[in-house]
A and B are shown apart, each in its own frame.
Chain A
Amino acid sequence: MTKKKSFLEFVSDTRFIHILLSIILGFLVGAIFLVIMGISVGGAYGRLLSSVTGVKGFSYVVVYAIPYIVVGLSVAFSFKTGVFNIGAEGQFVVGSMAAAVVGILGGALPKPLLIPLCFLAAMAAGAIWGIIVGFLKTRWGINEVLSMIMFNWIAFYLSNFIAGIPAIHSDGTAEATKNVSANASTLLSKDFINSMGLCPTANWGILVAIAMTILVWFIIEKTTLGYELKAVGYNKFAAEYGGIHVNRSILTALAISGALAGLGGALQLMGMGGRISVFSSQEGFGFAGIVVALIGCSNPFGVLIAGIFYGALMYGGSKLNLVGAPTQLVNVIVGTVVFFIAISVIFENLKRIQRRAPKTQAPANTEKEADKT
């Protein structure tokens, strides 16, 4: 096996290159749309690039990326364990609301106590939301995709309902909750932000996101729990035969995945939003998490990078209208990237067919030889 790979083989073998190619194709398709619409490609992409570079621009990107990374980890974790957590949206929402309630009502508590409390409340809420779905699945066999879609909306209206409770609701006219206490905020100090030239919402949530990335990697790759969850994901029946409690594994996987999505909600609230508005439609963080997990190939570190990439596109995209290009261009780019990532499996399929072709003659003989001896 010392044979050197040809360039084509290298390209078709490396997942990273597939993704890089997909990203290039995504921008190419975006450029085609820009040309059709008669908007300068250089102008639009130049604006996109200049918005996300520099200390201030990149700090915005990182702030945007925090919830995407953590929700992406949640979805990636669920993929690894064989469930498709389309319910991250709902878990994000309940997590965010739980953190808001704790952050508002417990406002008098000191910072080192209140912040962990908010995180814990959010993770617990997200985990419960995941466990309910898991329980419906393991107890009554109810399809998890179906119940997750339902629970996303239940979470959405529950959050709107809680936002309207007098103790939580804003004192002013805004259709939103009160702001969480300053003690529950993860914002960096004003002086630090000013001296570094960061964006006004710069916060240390990214450190939590990085810590979670390492933790998820550790759980999946280095622990018995991760091994069991993966085994159930690969083949439920084989895992059960191997002595793993399948139902318990599904519940654990959904609880961890839900806790991560809930934490994403808390980080977004405590770093950026400060309060929760009454929404008329879902915000789509769960959906963004699915996209980030897919671009990151469900690998925790891949998700970290994909989250930053997604954050950059979303923040850069919001500045596109300054040069007359529609903001939705970034959605088209990301959609195209995901589309090409989806079809990049063609390389693997091609290889399988290529490999199969000579096999039909050679191994047949060797097996006969083996039989003789």
Chain B
Amino acid sequence: MTSFINNLGIILYATLIYTTPLLYAALGSCFSEVSGVVNIGIEGMMTAGAFTGTVIAYFTGSPWIGFLCGGLAGAFFGMLHAIATVNLGADQTIAGTAINMLGPGIVIMIAKVMFNSTDTIPLEASMKIPRLFRGVFDTSTVFGRFMDNVFANYASTYLVFIAVLIVWFVFYKTRFGLRLRACGEHPQACETLGINVIKMRFLCVCISGFLAGLGGACVTMAISTQFRPISIVGQGFIAIAAVIFGKFRPQGALLGCLLFGFCSGLKVVLGGSSGINMQLISMIPYVVTVIVLILFVGKSRVPSANGKPYVKAK
């Protein structure tokens, strides 16, 4: 029983660690996709955020300024994507692919010039995103250790769950959210009602970049302590998958990210104890996602106008 609770604590801790960056990026992806712009550039925006966050935190000594700047760096690439796709009517897949090359390309190049290495200098503990409720729980008891594992987590993790609530509220309880969703379903109808589709989509893609940037920043500023070219490997695409999994709803994306995070957590515990081949264990999150899709989720309805450039009628 004791070891079960211990293991459960470790699994939940790892779940939260894996889920947090995915969830930021997935919320970002929601904004973009629901407003009608396919954004496969999430990965590149995350990388930009990861690097910028770490570097700014390193030089200012403040994790929060770094975290914010990570978001802004993501938003910058989001803006590039928005200019190409929303204003100039570019193919969204092509522009997203370009962002995925440009984001990592530019930041790794800057890292090379600044640090003479593709890795940044590791952050000191005070520059990292702090862990909340540290030392609140008595880790000498089994229950205390469990609570410490689950609740003494990074501030960024708490923030992302609050962000899910906010995004859900914005999407379904505000006028802005209604308009946002309408832009992704029938932009022409929106225009006739006086909604500026171009402006809405532009804003949404920038928000999407901002959130992806935050997601990247918490990989390098909370989970790890430095930026490396392999800090962001595929998390952006997993986030996109989680959004499709969640049928383009923030609450669905939360479930998708948690499922994925939980399986990754399981992987950590199984990898340590069971003796099953590590490579096979590493497949679990991906295989489980596919199985859950087949059994419970099925078809995901894409917003009708998703992927189609909107050209304002003259």
Show the binding face of A for B, using Cβ within 8 Å: 33, 37, 84, 86, 136, 140-143, 145-147, 149-154, 157-158, 160-161, 164, 280-282, 287, 290-291, 294, 326, 328-329, 331-332, 334-336, 338-339, 341-343, 345-346, 349, 352-353, 356-357
Selected contact of B94 from candidates A164, A282, A342, CB within 8 Å: A342
Contact sample, A vs B, 30 pairs, CB 8 Å cutoff: A33-B106, A33-B109, A37-B109, A86-B40, A143-B300, A146-B241, A146-B245, A147-B290, A149-B237, A150-B290, A151-B286, A152-B234, A153-B283, A157-B280, A161-B277, A161-B279, A281-B233, A287-B100, A329-B109, A332-B106, A332-B109, A334-B105, A342-B94, A342-B95, A345-B89, A345-B91, A349-B89, A349-B311, A352-B311, A357-B314
Query: Chain A contacts of B147 at CB under 8 A?
Result: none
Query: Chain A contacts of B98 at CB under 8 A?
Result: 335-336, 338-339, 341-342
Given contact pairs A37-B109, A147-B290, A349-B88, enumerate 10 new A-B contacts (beta carbons under 8 Å): A140-B294, A142-B290, A142-B300, A147-B293, A154-B287, A157-B282, A328-B105, A329-B109, A343-B95, A353-B314
For the complex, is B144 an interface residue (Cβ under 8 Å from A)? no
Q: How far is the CA of A326 from the CA of B314 in the complex (A)?
A: 46
Query: Chain B contacts of A287 at CB under 8 A?
Result: 97, 100
Q: How far is the CA of A168 from the CA of B109 in the complex (A)?
A: 38
Query: Chain B contacts of A142 at CB under 8 A?
Result: 290, 293-294, 297-300
Q: How far is the CA of A356 from the CA of B312 in the complex (A)?
A: 13
For the complex, is B189 an interface residue (Cβ under 8 Å from A)? no
Asked if B112 contacts A164 (CB within 8 A), the reply is no
- Closest residue of chain B to A280, judged by CB? B230
Query: Chain B contacts of A343 at CB under 8 A?
Result: 84, 88, 90, 95
Asked if A84 contacts B240 (CB within 8 A), the reply is no
Asked if B90 contacts A164 (CB within 8 A), the reply is no
Interface of A is mostly: helix
For the complex, is B5 an interface residue (Cβ under 8 Å from A)? no
Asked if B244 contacts A140 (CB within 8 A), the reply is no
Query: Chain B contacts of A328 at CB under 8 A?
Result: 104-106, 108-109, 112
Instruction: Please give the distance in Å from A287's CB to the nearest CB on chain B.
Output: 7
Selected contact of A332 from candidates B94, B102, B290, CB within 8 Å: B102
Instruction: Please give the distance in Å from B227's CB to the nearest CB on chain A.
Output: 13
Query: Chain A contacts of B40 at CB under 8 A?
Result: 86
Asked if A141 contacts B298 (CB within 8 A), the reply is yes
Asked if B88 contacts A157 (CB within 8 A), the reply is no
Instruction: Please give the distance in Å from B164's CB to the nearest CB on chain A.
Output: 20
Q: How far is the CA of A157 from the CA of B286 in the complex (A)?
A: 10
Instruction: Please give the distance in Å from A360's CB to the nearest CB on chain B.
Output: 9
Show the binding face of B for A, using Cβ within 8 Å: 40, 80, 84-85, 88-91, 93-95, 97-102, 104-106, 108-109, 112-113, 230, 233-234, 237-238, 240-241, 244-245, 277, 279-280, 282-283, 286-287, 289-290, 293-294, 297-300, 302, 309, 311, 314
Instruction: Please give the distance in Å from B134's CB to the nearest CB on chain A.
Output: 31
Q: How far is the CA of A151 from the CA of B293 in the complex (A)?
A: 13
Query: Chain A contacts of B99 at CB under 8 A?
Result: 335, 339
Q: How far is the CA of A331 from the CA of B280 in the complex (A)?
A: 33
Q: How far is the CA of A328 from the CA of B110 in the complex (A)?
A: 9
Selected contact of A282 from candidates B80, B234, B293, B294, CB within 8 Å: B234
Query: Chain B contacts of A353 at CB under 8 A?
Result: 314
Asked if B311 contacts A281 (CB within 8 A), the reply is no
Instruction: Please give the distance in Å from B54's CB to the nearest CB on chain A.
Output: 17
Asked if B298 contacts A346 (CB within 8 A), the reply is no
Selected contact of B101 from candidates A84, A334, A352, CB within 8 Å: A334
Which one of B91, B95, B286 has the highest number of Cβ atoms from chain A below 10 Å of its Cβ? B286
Instruction: Please give the distance in Å from B97's CB to the nearest CB on chain A.
Output: 6
Q: How far is the CA of A357 from the CA of B314 in the complex (A)?
A: 9
- Closest residue of chain B to A141, judged by CB? B299
Asked if A153 contacts B89 (CB within 8 A), the reply is no
Q: How far is the CA of A197 from the CA of B80 in the complex (A)?
A: 45
Selected contact of A326 from candidates B94, B95, B113, B298, CB within 8 Å: B113
The 6 closest A-B pairs by CB, nearest first: A335-B101, A331-B105, A141-B299, A335-B102, A339-B98, A161-B279
Asked if B293 contacts A164 (CB within 8 A), the reply is no
Asked if B97 contacts A294 (CB within 8 A), the reply is yes
Query: Chain A contacts of B294 at CB under 8 A?
Result: 136, 140, 142
- Closest residue of chain B to A331, judged by CB? B105
Instruction: Please give the distance in Å from B304's CB to the nearest CB on chain A.
Output: 14
Instruction: Please give the distance in Å from B114's CB to the nearest CB on chain A.
Output: 10
Query: Chain B contacts of A334 at CB under 8 A?
Result: 101, 105
Q: How far is the CA of A58 from the CA of B244 in the complex (A)?
A: 43
Q: How far is the CA of A158 from the CA of B286 in the complex (A)?
A: 12
Asked if A294 contacts B94 (CB within 8 A), the reply is yes
Given A150-B286, A335-B105, A339-B102, does the pair A157, B89 have CB atoms closer than 8 Å? Answer: no
- Closest residue of chain B to A153, judged by CB? B286
Given A142-B299, A164-B279, does the pair A84, B102 have CB atoms closer than 8 Å? Answer: no
Q: How far is the CA of A280 from the CA of B298 in the complex (A)?
A: 32
Instruction: Please give the distance in Å from A303's CB to the nearest CB on chain B.
Output: 15
Query: Chain A contacts of B287 at CB under 8 A?
Result: 150, 154
Asked if B90 contacts A342 (CB within 8 A), the reply is yes
Query: Chain A contacts of B109 at CB under 8 A?
Result: 33, 37, 326, 328-329, 332
Given A147-B290, A339-B84, does the pair A164, B277 have CB atoms closer than 8 Å? Answer: yes
Asked if B238 contacts A149 (CB within 8 A), the reply is yes
Which one of B95, B112, B238 has the highest number of Cβ atoms from chain A below 10 Å of its Cβ? B112
Asked if A150 contacts B113 (CB within 8 A), the reply is no
Selected contact of A342 from candidates B84, B104, B113, B300, CB within 8 Å: B84
